Structure 1
């Protein structure tokens, strides 16, 4: 029997002891199942994902759930980055343990069980120290963190100070609204498209904005400005956004209409 460890919120411990682990995660190809890692001789390597998973928040910290799987159980094994490329290999559980244990550096590897874990397969649930493992990615310590929209964690500890200290040229933090409005006024009438699209780019990073000042851009002669306006206000909670999108949905340019349609499509 192959032994793996699954890290989860301590709030799930009682349910896991009673009913097993639900197939709540999505793996390669959209399959549903459970992520885990082989129990190796090295404690830090076995629990390497702990600090990274803790960044997403958990009630009462994380616990380690030890799971025994049949050696012939097919699992997906590979590095985290291989998942998006569809390059994780389907192998028996025992082979996944052998491959990972033989690696010189198994950090960043994962095993995905494409099904739920039955209660009889749960060996034990125990508390795990909350300091093991890497954060962000292996060897991240000492590397300048990236503050782009894709890498940053909204609401993470020190996230705002980090963005202010290391501003990203495209993803902010954005200039204050008063500066953006001054740039909007300086762009002229009807306004230089390049300058207006830059202003819209920065306003799109906000959750609310001066809708009344931007709404006249729905009549701008450049369709690129009108399309960017739609994407800028798409996630704003400012009153009046639906009415502005209604106007843009009737735009003569097909790209603008398609942008509104995409915004309104359910996830």
Structure 2
């Protein structure tokens, strides 16, 4: 059987022991599943993704979940950037291990299991030092970091000073809250999904916001709008956010429920 490591938040380990690893990550072709990496002789390479994943937050640090899969289990394997180009290959789990182990430099490679991991497939869960691996991309040390909104992580250590020192020329401040609310109102009722989703994208960059004026979007017929509402208000300190997320946690559409789950796992 092939052995892999999945890095998970320490707060989720009781659930993983009880129920396995849920298929909440999105892979190539919008598949749902679990990311992992083969166990290699090199400890550093095996846990290379740890520092990069830690940038996005984890409750109690990250834990190494060792997973045993049948050699014939189909998985996707390739570099991180191959995912966007649909260039990752579907191979048996044993072949994915062989292919990565044969590389001169396997940094940045990943394995995607297109399903949930069953409890019996979890071999063991152990602590791991939180300093292993690279950040941003392999060999990023000495390279100027990108400060655009898509690359930066809210609350990251030294992030504010970095943005002040190296402001991104194409990523200016978001529109004022009143301007965004005017766009939401002009979108109509229930509202044009494209207009609403763009406004919610900008609202997601605020730390507080007009929750009362946006709550009606929780009943919007487009699940994309409801999921974007979850992501927009998740980081707000405005009273009432928790109650709104509680209501959307039981949304009839799986994308909305999974958005709530993803948000709560990083809080």
TM-score with structure 2 length normalisation?
Answer: 0.69
1:259, 1:53 → 2: CA distance? Answer: 30
Query: Shift in Å at residue 246 of structure 1?
Result: 3.8
Which 10-residue stretch deviates more, 101-110 or 14-23? 14-23
Unmatched 5+ stretches in structure 2: 199-216, 228-267
SS of match in other structure, 1:64: strand
Structure with bigger gyration radius: 1
The aligned runs of 1:1-267 (5 Å cut-off) are 1-172=1-172, 202=173, 205=174, 208=176, 211=178, 233-234=179-180, 241-242=181-182, 245-247=184-186, 260=195, 263=198, 266=225, 267=227
CA RMSD of aligned residues (A): 2.2
Q: Say which structure, 1 or 2, has more relative contact order (CA 8 Å, 6+ apart).
A: 2
2:129, 2:16 → 1: CA distance? Answer: 19
Structure 1 104/25 Cα, relative in aligned 2: closer, same or farther at 3 Å?
same
2:156, 2:171 → 1: CA distance? Answer: 16
SS of match in other structure, 2:84: helix
2:57, 2:156 → 1: CA distance? Answer: 9
1:149, 1:63 → 2: CA distance? Answer: 28
1:57, 1:122 → 2: CA distance? Answer: 23
Deviations 1:19-64 (Å, cap 9, x if unpaired)? 1111111111111111100000000000000011111111111110
TM-score with structure 1 length normalisation?
Answer: 0.69
2:72, 2:43 → 1: CA distance? Answer: 25
Structure 1 122/171 Cα, relative in aligned 2: closer, same or farther at 3 Å?
same
1:71, 1:64 → 2: CA distance? Answer: 21
